[in-house]
């Protein structure tokens, strides 16, 4: 075999083998990065939907509790004890349920009022009157608290669930005189997942779309899909979903994120959440077809194959044309390829110039690296944004509840290990519900955002401030003795005492109660520190609000 052909073979081996390795490594890394990003996005979607669903279920409880506390219902129920007024009271009660309660919420099927003995004595569906419900868990539990049942089939339509709440004669400290049961249709879950009902979760509310083939659905403990399917007819609500996330969710109540075949047998990427509340149980699943989710990596593979073929042809032409001029640029190209193969996508092949095949090949590799670099940068930016969304409160911009607990656990362990001081403050806006009730929730939101600004301005750079929940904030002060924390707490209280909240011609003064506590060795973990701080905050509230109270010490307003 001639040297010329040997040169061609050697040139091919030198060029194609490293290029193939780079392509395989690059493809594998890009595929892994895209897979992780896709699964992280699906997990964010399922977490968002989980939060929506929890708020939605709580709204069912709130509606039922409010109906049960209706004074008219209570009074009519009390009047049924008198035989002279029993029939007229029950008639008025039925009409009240039919005309004044059921129409308020489209998701309500009907409402029952049960006697203390569990008998339906009034109902918006008069066919239910006289039926005994004393064997139902929602009756026995509903005598004690507001309770939500598991979802179950309904013979004439979508599945339903019941929410029960006790009816008290005058106050919650007395024995209940009956139970109010609201029967909700599961069709409301369809409306929620379709976006027809919007539940505000702050910054996370922007996390919704998962492509053309993406869908989110609910499955009950009997493996039945209880919401509509994007692909199949589920009008009878009997579609069985025997997939991996459903099996492990029902058997072990475990949430999963990964790759599997969905109920159609189509490969998907997905994430599942197990949702429980009282007796309610379902599995929320967000999925996207792998063909759509990983389409960019398929395009990258085709591009890599095209570039490899182009390189193969270029090397043959250059090797046959000249042996003398090939080795210098080829060596430079190989060094550049090896650098890229080590994972440095910012590297560029330089020193290979001219209007010839090697120069073209070098430019093609540079473009490929730039494309991979842009893809990697885009994935990193998306992950950074997801991380930011997961740690910030959407309304105030402060750290959220989850991040605060993670940070407190870290600071607690550090204080425990190095014997350094650590203080925690819990701050609660006084009479905030009154602000919402008087001026509306928009002004209430303004007060929360303005409060966040006041607290941030009044704190040190080393302090960690976040919204713990509702109108409650938490401040973590590492390396801070309790007397310094007390000084800081009085400073913050005065800021609120001297500040007037003004927005859109509405002005109001809002004070703040503060509880503070320090770490000491008998506190076993960070949850214990939260408990003693909460205890101090409770003392500040009990002492008349607009107070600073240290754990174990008398409360004071400060000077």
Give pLDDT tens digits for 449-473: 999 999 999 999 999 999 999 999 9
Give yes or no: residues 408 and 544 share one domain.
Answer: yes
What does the pLDDT read at residue 325? 66
Give pLDDT tens digits for 153-193: 877 778 999 999 999 998 666 889 999 999 999 888 988 88
Give pLDDT tens digits for 302-356: 777 887 677 767 767 776 676 566 656 666 666 666 676 666 666 666 766 666 6
Give yes or no: residues 300 and 269 share one domain.
Answer: no
Tell me if 185 is assigned to some domain. no
Give yes or no: residues 289 and 304 share one domain.
Answer: no
Tell me the CA distances in angstroms from 88 to 94, 172, 479, one per residue in order: 10, 27, 69
Give yes or no: residues 378 and 449 share one domain.
Answer: no
CATH of residue 83's domain is 3.30.450.20
Domains of the chain: total? 4
Give yes or no: residues 31 and 119 share one domain.
Answer: no
Q: Please give the biggest Cα pair distance in the chain.
A: 119
**Distance between CA 296 and CA 291 in Å, rounded?**
10
Give pLDDT tens digits for 341-395: 666 666 666 766 666 666 676 667 677 767 766 766 666 676 666 666 779 999 9
Q: Which residues pair with 287 in a beta bridge?
A: 215, 270
CATH of residue 410's domain is 3.30.70.270
Give pLDDT tens digits for 501-523: 999 889 999 999 999 999 999 99
Tell me if 395 is assigned to some domain. no
What does the pLDDT read at residue 193? 84
Contact 549, 536 (CB under 8 A): yes
Contact 74, 168 (CB under 8 A): yes
What does the pLDDT read at residue 299? 75
For the CA atoms of 24, 27, 33, 39, the dihedral, rounded to the nearest 10 degrees, stands at -110
Tell me if 49 is assigned to some domain. no
Is 203's pLDDT higher than 50? no
Give yes or no: residues 137 and 154 share one domain.
Answer: yes
Give yes or no: residues 206 and 275 share one domain.
Answer: yes
Q: Can you read off the two tokens belonging to residue 81?
A: 């004890």
160, 180, 200: which is the final residue of a domain?
180
Helical residues (DSSP H) of 392-501, grouped into ranges: 401-418, 432-439, 441-458, 482-497
Containing domain of residue 205, as a range? 192-293
Is 204's pLDDT higher than 50? no
Give yes or no: residues 442 and 538 share one domain.
Answer: yes
Work out whether strand 215-219 and strand 157-167 pair parallel, antiparallel, or are unpaired: unpaired
Tell me if 556 is assigned to some domain. no
277, 293, 309: which is the final residue of a domain?
293
Mention every residue, 6+ apart, whose C-beta is less than 8 A from residue 424: 408, 474, 475, 476, 477, 516, 517, 518, 519, 529, 530, 533
Is 96's pLDDT higher than 60? yes
In this prediction, residue 202 has a pLDDT band, given cuts at 50, 70 and 90, of very low
Give yes or no: residues 359 and 443 share one domain.
Answer: no
Percentage of the chain beyond pLDDT 90 is 60
Is 11's pLDDT higher than 50? yes
Contact 451, 473 (CB under 8 A): yes
Give yes or no: residues 159 and 97 share one domain.
Answer: yes
Tell me if 559 is assigned to some domain. no
Tell me if 252 is assigned to some domain. yes
Give pLDDT tens digits for 210-245: 788 899 999 999 999 999 888 888 777 788 999 999
Give yes or no: residues 314 and 450 share one domain.
Answer: no
Mention every residue, 6+ apart, whose C-beta is less than 8 A from residue 429: 435, 447, 448, 451, 471, 472, 510, 511, 512
293, 325, 360: which is the final residue of a domain?
293
Is 205's pLDDT higher than 50? no
Tell me if 127 is assigned to some domain. yes
Specify whether the backbone of 225 is left (phi greater than 0), alpha (psi in -120 to 50) or beta: beta
Give yes or no: residues 513 and 497 share one domain.
Answer: yes
Tell me if 248 is assigned to some domain. yes
What does the pLDDT read at residue 200? 46
């Amino acid at each position: 075999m001639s040297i010329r052909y040997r040169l061609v073979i050697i040139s091919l081996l030198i060029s194609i083998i490293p290029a193939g390795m780079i392509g395989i490594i690059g493809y594998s890394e890009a595929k892994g990065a895209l897979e992780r990003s896709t699964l992280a996005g699906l997990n964010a979607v399922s977490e968002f939907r989980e939060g929506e669903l929890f708020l939605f279920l709580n709204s069912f409880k709130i509606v039922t509790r409010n109906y049960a506390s209706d004074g008219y219902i209570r009074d009519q129920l009390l009047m049924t004890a008198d035989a002279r007024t029993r029939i007229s009271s029950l008639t008025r009660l039925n009409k009240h349920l039919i005309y004044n309660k059921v129409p308020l919420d489209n998701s309500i099927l009907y409402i029952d009022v049960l006697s203390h003995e569990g008998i339906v004595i009034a109902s918006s569906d008069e066919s239910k009157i006289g039926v005994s419900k004393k064997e139902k868990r929602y009756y026995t539990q509903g005598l004690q608290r507001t309770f939500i049942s598991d979802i179950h089939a309904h013979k004439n339509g979508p599945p339903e669930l019941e929410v029960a709440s006790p009816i008290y004669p005058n106050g919650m400290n007395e024995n209940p005189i009956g139970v109010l049961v609201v029967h909700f249709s599961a069709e409301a879950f369809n409306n929620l997942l379709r976006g027809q009902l919007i539940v505000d979760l702050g910054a996370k509310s922007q996390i919704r779309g998962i492509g053309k083939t993406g869908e989110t659905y609910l499955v009950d403990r009997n493996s039945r899909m209880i919401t509509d399917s994007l692909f199949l007819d589920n009008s009878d609500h009997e579609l069985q979903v025997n997939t991996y996330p459903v099996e492990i969710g029902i058997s072990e109540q475990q949430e999963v994120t990964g790759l599997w075949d969905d109920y159609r047998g189509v490969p998907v990427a997905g994430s599942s959440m197990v949702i429980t509340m009282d007796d309610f149980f379902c599995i929320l699943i967000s999925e996207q077809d792998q063909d759509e989710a990983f389409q960019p990596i398929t395009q990258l593979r085709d591009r890599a194959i095209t570039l490899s073929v182009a390189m193969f042809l270029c090397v043959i032409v250059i090797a046959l044309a000249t042996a003398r001029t090939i080795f210098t640029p080829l060596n430079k190209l190989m060094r550049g390829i090896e650098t890229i193969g080590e994972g440095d996508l910012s590297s560029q092949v330089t020193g290979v110039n001219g209007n010839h095949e090697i120069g073209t090949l070098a430019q093609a590799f540079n473009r490929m690296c730039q494309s991979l670099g842009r893809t990697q940068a885009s994935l990193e930016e998306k992950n950074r944004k997801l991380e930011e969304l997961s740690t910030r409160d959407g309304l105030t911009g402060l750290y959220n509840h989850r991040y605060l607990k993670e940070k407190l656990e870290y600071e607690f362990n550090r204080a425990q290990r190095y014997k350094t001081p650590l203080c925690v403050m819990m701050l609660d806006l006084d009479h905030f519900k009154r602000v919402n009730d008087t001026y509306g929730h928009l002004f209430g939101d303004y007060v929360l955002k303005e409060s966040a600004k006041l607290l941030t301005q009044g704190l040190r750079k080393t302090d960690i401030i976040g919204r713990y929940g509702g109108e409650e904030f938490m401040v973590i002060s590492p390396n801070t003795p309790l007397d310094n924390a007390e000084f800081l707490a009085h400073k913050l209280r005065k800021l609120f005492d001297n500040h007037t909240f003004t927005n859109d011609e509405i002005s109001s003064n809002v004070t703040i109660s503060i509880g503070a506590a320090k770490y000491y060795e008998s506190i076993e973990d960070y949850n214990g520190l939260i408990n003693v701080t909460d205890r101090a905050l409770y003392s500040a509230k009990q002492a008349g609000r607009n107070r600073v109270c240290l754990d174990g010490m008398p409360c004071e307003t400060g000077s």
